[in-house]
Structure 1
């Protein structure tokens, strides 16, 4: 094994752990902890939606800020600061019960996770590119699923010892602290660069690119309803605490290999077609989580959500990068802004719909419709063969 390959492997592993901490735990542990918070703190579905959206607003602001050239040369420091902040903020969530504090903490946690997402990607992908090992991107993105699975195991253990919701946040902080130490040791340098911060050209005024940006925003709305409320849906259906953890673990385990699998599918049928197909498969899961009775619906919902949402995120960014290859940072920021708006509006709309209707059926069907629209719009943006 060459030194470039072993370095790429080490950085890909560091990226996987960083994504597990910042995204799998930092962003998505709210989903399995939420039913306990709703029950013990008497939070309404609308309250839950606002807290989720505060996190996504922080992520949007952080991603847009991180897209600027000011961070050049400081990527590793900012990434570690994001991981450290994610750890501290998880602990703070377990030490308060005030709605205003939840909103502020989750907003800041969103900022932190965006810093890790953007800067760790620049560090890891530069090392992977230098070694010619683009296949290792799947390891990096797989960290989201790994973090979700770890948080599901944690919740299953806490449930069996009858711990309250606050313990979920405090143990999340402990797990995040371990991840922080590993990442700091493994990712010992910043991204490979040619030493100059190059300016990027303006984005092309292209109809296909506009479709991809709009479709990606609709996906942000469509996936986030189930990603936020899936465990609350299980709780409402009386599935039991251990089954809640099982459903969330199914989502995490399905997410871990999903990017690798969907890249293979995209190589066979094309990026845009793979994106549309993944959206349709996720629609089945979103609808099943509320329409299929017993344990089958939520379990199918977890498996199909996990098996698609991380991969769709990656496929959408790839499709946009194809349209604007000379402005990767600008297109990343614009796509993240569109996606971010969708996932900010999603939980608020879903929470209000759930509160008005008494369950998550209408909200989930609205989310499924958004996913269908997203897949159709991006499929229509595929380059036409001559």
Structure 2
């Protein structure tokens, strides 16, 4: 028991070093709940509402003749492209800066993008603001880990991180529940309400968030060559984006348009996706503590592959809920699982570099697949083809993880 406890503490510190780099020292007294709630609101607006909340709105955008279905899906891909740019900007940034003013400014920009989307001024106008919200989401995703979670005492990082990143699932759930009610009053009203939510969240964060300074982390030592197990793990993590994009971008439209069940039904199944996204990471974290990060990630991808494929064979309401829950829980929980697995396979000097490479690979793959799937839907008009491709790719990701586990065992034997 003593040895197990020591191992867990060492492993946890290694995993936290990946997610929260050096340069963020915790003060003697830290306002845990102020920081955590600030992080939750930032993730709620920038990712949960501005990014994932767009999916349930696509049927309404098409139905109101603002854009064609193909154009609406492409606009969703533009947001993911912005997310990649935002993540790339943070990874390449080398200067130090005060975090709180930047966080508030980014949240304000996100709120403005939501308000600006209420104006039907054409594809270029709408696409620009979708790009802006993607950039702000990508920056905030990286920044909040350092500015909020990174400042928490070591014993509280898990609690603060759990609250912070639960904001994504909370945003998905709330926007999915509100959208069916709001679209009855028109798209202008809907976007305006979402924008006001963004403004309110920004004001609260400006008042609550503790001050902090982000200090550029030193370049990593330990060589530049990435081990084979880590390469295989990163390939699997990036490849899993193919399994998530069909539900992330097309799920509500599949139910509302593809199954002819209406906007309300599409929003309801999206809400289940959000509920699972909020609680899945917590459950998977407990499972990983007992069985290991890599085996849990492998099992999760198998579950997710089945959940993505389920609508191909059964489109009953219960099956759709099961599919949404399976995908939502694993897709967002896999971020934490992949980080923990990479920590266990990386030398101390390679942790941040390896996790940075995984994050960038996933962002690139997600943006590319969103654009590719949008084109594929335009060419075929088939949602089921997207689910088929996604599920097959997740099975391939499982194969990559099996190879990573074998390579890790071989490396440990020498």
Fold in common (TM above 0.5):
yes
Structure 1 pair 122/366, CA: closer, same or farther in 2 (3 Å)? same
Distance in 2 (alpha carbons) for counterparts of 1:325 and 1:156: 48
Match of residue 326, structure 1, among 349, 356, 363: 349
Match of residue 221, structure 1, among 221, 227, 242: 242
| 1:315 aligned residue | 337
Match of residue 200, structure 1, among 205, 216, 220: 220
The CA deviation at 1:115 is 1.4
Please report the TM-score for the alignment, with normalisation by the length of structure 2.
0.85
Contact 1:85–1:109, Cα closer than 8 Å, also in 2: yes
Contact 1:233–1:290, Cα closer than 8 Å, also in 2: no
Contact 2:176–2:267, Cα closer than 8 Å, also in 1: yes
Contact 2:169–2:276, Cα closer than 8 Å, also in 1: yes
Contact 1:8–1:131, Cα closer than 8 Å, also in 2: no
Distance in 1 (alpha carbons) for counterparts of 2:347 and 2:99: 23
Structure 1 pair 101/203, CA: closer, same or farther in 2 (3 Å)? farther
| 1:50 aligned residue | 74
Structure 1 pair 221/116, CA: closer, same or farther in 2 (3 Å)? same
Structure 1 pair 25/203, CA: closer, same or farther in 2 (3 Å)? farther
The CA deviation at 1:183 is 1.8
Structure 1 pair 66/328, CA: closer, same or farther in 2 (3 Å)? farther
C-alpha distance after superposition, 1:88-127 (max 9, x if no partner): 0111112134122222221111111111111111012223
What SS class does the counterpart of residue 198 from structure 1 fall into?
A: coil
The CA deviation at 1:319 is 2.3
| 2:140 aligned residue | 116
Does the alignment pair 1:349 with 2:395?
no
Structure 1 pair 113/374, CA: closer, same or farther in 2 (3 Å)? same
Distance in 2 (alpha carbons) for counterparts of 1:51 and 1:367: 20
Any gaps of 5 or more consecutive residues in structure 1?
none
What SS class does the counterpart of residue 315 from structure 2 fall into?
A: coil
What SS class does the counterpart of residue 97 from structure 2 fall into?
A: coil
The CA deviation at 1:349 is 2.2
Does the alignment pair 1:380 with 2:403?
yes
Contact 2:246–2:387, Cα closer than 8 Å, also in 1: yes
Contact 1:60–1:337, Cα closer than 8 Å, also in 2: yes
The CA deviation at 1:353 is 2.3
The CA deviation at 1:356 is 2.5
The CA deviation at 1:153 is 2.2
Distance in 2 (alpha carbons) for counterparts of 1:225 and 1:8: 36
Structure 1 pair 28/276, CA: closer, same or farther in 2 (3 Å)? same
The CA deviation at 1:151 is 0.6
Contact 2:31–2:210, Cα closer than 8 Å, also in 1: no
The CA deviation at 1:130 is 4.0
Contact 1:289–1:299, Cα closer than 8 Å, also in 2: no
Structure 1 pair 31/196, CA: closer, same or farther in 2 (3 Å)? closer
Distance in 1 (alpha carbons) for counterparts of 2:248 and 2:86: 20
| Matched positions, count | 380
Distance in 2 (alpha carbons) for counterparts of 1:92 and 1:325: 45
Distance in 1 (alpha carbons) for counterparts of 2:316 and 2:29: 48
Does the alignment pair 1:283 with 2:280?
no
The CA deviation at 1:223 is 0.5
Does the alignment pair 1:211 with 2:211?
no
Does the alignment pair 1:107 with 2:127?
no
Structure 1 pair 45/241, CA: closer, same or farther in 2 (3 Å)? closer
Contact 2:30–2:152, Cα closer than 8 Å, also in 1: no
| 1:10 aligned residue | 34
Does the alignment pair 1:61 with 2:71?
no
The CA deviation at 1:260 is 0.9
Please report the TM-score for the alignment, with normalisation by the length of structure 1.
0.90
Distance in 2 (alpha carbons) for counterparts of 1:139 and 1:22: 15
Distance in 1 (alpha carbons) for counterparts of 2:66 and 2:384: 21
The CA deviation at 1:173 is 0.9
What SS class does the counterpart of residue 94 from structure 2 fall into?
A: helix
Distance in 2 (alpha carbons) for counterparts of 1:209 and 1:59: 24
C-alpha distance after superposition, 1:286-329 (max 9, x if no partner): 22234312323332222222222110122123323442543554
